[in-house]
Amino acid sequence: MTFLSQFASETTTVDKDLFAALGIDWRLLILQIIAFLILVVLLGKFVYPWLMKSVDERQAGIEEAAKATAAAQKAAEDNKAAVAELLTEARKQAAEIISTARLESAETLSASEKKAQKISEQIVANAHDQLDKDVANARKVLYNDTLELVGLATEKVIAKKLDKKADSELIAEAIKASS
């Protein structure tokens, strides 16, 4: 038993001497532990809630921004499809407008050609009518001039002047006889 009592007495001395051997003042250590606990309580009560609130707000902002980005990407894809659809529709309308314009221009050209054809036919018909009138007038003038010349020639031949009525009758008889 002496061994155990000797070991037990050495352990108590060793515990007291252990802190001293390590250069630790146990009163100062207890004071530091109390200061640390006070610091942890103060940080837990005032700083950590504010810090956690700030971190939570930032996290919520990041999540909101991610949702907004996803919504913007979806809207961009939807708009892209809508723009493609609008372009397709615009191309169809442009093709329809072009074909309608071509058809209308062809109809206008055809109508203009028909109108020009009618006008030219009218001009030609008027020219033929005028030519016929001019020929008839020329024949009448030529007939009258011929009668006058024949009358003059007859007067010279007969050497006497007949009146106009007699001249006309003689000339008409001469023309009938020669025909």
Q: What pLDDT does 27 receive?
A: 87
Q: What's the CA dihedral at 165, 166, 168, 169 to 10 degrees?
A: 120
How far is 77 from 85, CA to CA, in rounded Å? 12
Tokens encoding 91: 């191309």
- Contact status, residue 147 vs residue 171, Cβ threshold 8 Å: yes
How far is 27 from 149, CA to CA, in rounded Å? 171
Report which of 129, 128, 106, 125 is spatially closest to residue 117, judged by C-alpha positions.
125
The DSSP secondary structure of 98-165, one letter per residue, reads HHHHHHHHHHHHHHHHHHHHHHHHHHHHHHHHHHHHHHHHHHHHHHHHHHHHHHHHHHHHH-S---HH
Report which of 168, 9, 85 is spatially closest to residue 77, judged by C-alpha positions.
85
Tokens encoding 142: 């030529």
Q: What pLDDT does 53 receive?
A: 92
Total count of residues recorded for the chain: 179
Tokens encoding 104: 């209308």
Which spans in 23-47 are helix H? 26-42
Average pLDDT per 10 consecutive residues for the chain, totaling 179 residues = 56 62 86 96 92 92 92 88 89 92 90 91 92 90 82 67 72 77
How far is 77 from 109, CA to CA, in rounded Å? 47
pTM of this prediction?
Answer: 0.37
Q: What pLDDT does 179 receive?
A: 64
Q: Give 97: exposed, middle or buried? Use CB within 10 Å, 0-12, 13-18, 19+.
A: exposed
- Contact status, residue 153 vs residue 147, Cβ threshold 8 Å: no
Q: What pLDDT does 5 receive?
A: 61
